[in-house]
Chain A
């Protein structure tokens, strides 16, 4: 499947996000990840969502997003070079000899340990989604207690800007 990341500028109004999310359900499109927050201009929110589908399907999604009255602009970040990152916290059971091993794996992936107890580490990791997946694979599966991921956020490289 063709994974794509769309950035959407949206009027920062109550109910606007529900129209975006509703659209995906109504038209049988898939949302893999979704992040949203206000921009530097408080009247606008920026949504980054990742989805999958053929080029034709992505074009339809883009058109239907643009049709929503509160959507100001839509950009397919994969149309040009972009930077994508995701934030992840993993709570890992770590006792005795395991503690050093977890710490080493964490260092290899440039993760940070943000909380420690006698029995567990909480690791923070940022990077492209594939790196986060790889980190999880590198851990002993049974040691993973809890995982929370922010979903993808992204921005175009170079001079290209998504703004009003």
Chain B
């Protein structure tokens, strides 16, 4: 005999039945029936943010750190539209998010009612799917279906728009939460095609200059260990995309760094000269490939992705494999093992592999990441030094979130992530303001973990109101702000492409004092501007003494430092600016 509940109670009960721990949100008129239902229960903890955009990023950070879906509740109109940036961020990086938005009562939809927005319409291009609830009896099944869609196949955000009348406490219906749902129109692929897998295994063994190029799909698909096992078996170099960092251990000898626009010289050179690219859970993004027409001319391409639409979208795949990264890698491993066993009986290979590695080491020795980085004699802090200090202090064990810009690239280049889900950033949409709330979401997921947010003063100011939420919930996150008193990446482009004309990218006269700003929010603030103080300040920020406190370290860094390497626009992957004086080829910047 099922219970009879109101729509609001059903909605909250369904979240309980899904095992939701946290609901990140902000109340408002159209959502108040739901908020009352939240008040009358204990199982789902609601986190009150200060801005709806931050609620979505917080849920996103939680989802990326755990692999579980993040859940958001906002009201109609501005509540819903404020959430859109966070939804788009999650969509571009394929994170599972459930966003429940209040809506004006059904009878008022379309009348330009107070706080009315067509949320299903506004969010349509940036959701995996969306629902408009028509009747309270639909709520349990809608929520089950939303979780199913958000978390399977290529994950993504799902919006559930809930008109206020469907949550009316006076209207009730039977509550039966379905065990599972099945949709005739949605059957994501899981296992790769056997024939394609055998072809891939053979190609991997036969390659003279193979490279493994893995992306966010390996992180999302929890396929890091499977990738690592296969990579070690093959002995091939591994490069990760910005979204894929950590899937293969960053301190492993086979890891040659991130690839792409600000990837390492050796990773981009190895891609360009490879005869086989094994792409897993990566989508040949324009920030990776540079000019697709000049992309890796000698390479055959194996492309593994759970989303068929990602395969051969930008670069044609010679061996396409549609499937879940983990399942494909686990099935591929024994095939490669068997092929290897067959080969070693015939003839000892391996010389080709040695020559390939010799070549890669040569590239690294010539223009590896640190080749142009010289500590300054006047003690001005280089941004790279800050990341290196953070890595040293945390022993590589932190969850690191970032915002968007130079600091993001420095963090991606210099922090070596031991496993997936440790590096959380907005890669696809490039959303400034993501880092702080994402760090808070990760800290909610793992209260005992060390969580650092690497940010810049520009990005930080886009969501710094969440410092108040940090205090309310006692989140001891550490904010490392690389303060260069400018919008660093914009300024870098202006230096390189616009004759140093810094149009609207500087504001050094009007920055707040971030130390006292943090203090006014009830946290610990520090400010350093000399390289000698860097390690001690970092050690203090992460010390046991401040274990329970949020800390903001405002680090004044060299404002003129650029991120290198940098891809040359329209070129191939091997066309890069390597430092302030050396380019691997002449041309425009991307």
Which B residues lie within 8 Å of A64 (CB)? 309
B185→A60 contact, CB < 8 A? no
A22→B125 contact, CB < 8 A? yes
Q: How many interface residues does chain B have, given as a range?
A: 10 to 19
Is A157 an interface position by the 8 A CB rule? no
A63→B124 contact, CB < 8 A? no
The distance in angstroms between the C-alpha atoms of A70 and B185, with both chains bound, is 6
A67→B120 contact, CB < 8 A? no
Which A residues lie within 8 Å of B185 (CB)? 11, 69-72
Is A79 an interface position by the 8 A CB rule? no
The distance in angstroms between the C-alpha atoms of A67 and B153, with both chains bound, is 10
The distance in angstroms between the C-alpha atoms of A14 and B120, with both chains bound, is 11
The distance in angstroms between the C-alpha atoms of A19 and B130, with both chains bound, is 10
Is B186 an interface position by the 8 A CB rule? yes
Is A26 an interface position by the 8 A CB rule? yes
A14→B308 contact, CB < 8 A? no
The distance in angstroms between the C-alpha atoms of A60 and B186, with both chains bound, is 18
Is B544 an interface position by the 8 A CB rule? no
Which A residues lie within 8 Å of B312 (CB)? 56, 59
B124→A19 contact, CB < 8 A? yes
A164→B184 contact, CB < 8 A? yes
The distance in angstroms between the C-alpha atoms of A63 and B313, with both chains bound, is 10
Which A residues lie within 8 Å of B128 (CB)? 69
A63→B183 contact, CB < 8 A? no
A14→B121 contact, CB < 8 A? no
The distance in angstroms between the C-alpha atoms of A64 and B222, with both chains bound, is 25
A18→B121 contact, CB < 8 A? yes
The one of A18, A19, A56, A72 in contact with B184, judged by C-beta atoms closer than 8 angstroms, is: A72
Task: Write the B299-310 contact mask toward A (1 if CB under 8 angstroms, else 0).
Answer: 000000001110
In the assembled complex, the CB of A8 is this many whole angstroms from the nearest CB of chain B, namely 11
Residues facing B in A1-60 (CB within 8 A) are 11, 14-15, 18-19, 22, 26, 56, 59-60
Chain B's closest residue to A26 (CB) is B125
Is B149 an interface position by the 8 A CB rule? yes
Is B340 an interface position by the 8 A CB rule? no
The distance in angstroms between the C-alpha atoms of A70 and B183, with both chains bound, is 9
A67→B125 contact, CB < 8 A? no
Task: Write the B117-156 contact mask toward A (1 if CB under 8 angstroms, else 0).
Answer: 0001100110011101000000000000000010000000
Which A residues lie within 8 Å of B308 (CB)? 63, 66-67
A60→B125 contact, CB < 8 A? no
Task: Write the A64-80 contact mask toward B (1 if CB under 8 angstroms, else 0).
Answer: 10110111100000000
Which A residues lie within 8 Å of B309 (CB)? 60, 63-64, 66-67
Q: Which of B128, B185, B308, B313 has the most CB of A within 10 A?
A: B185
A69→B186 contact, CB < 8 A? yes
Measured CB to CB, the residues of B under 8 A from A are 120-121, 124-125, 128-130, 132, 149, 183-186, 307-309, 312-313
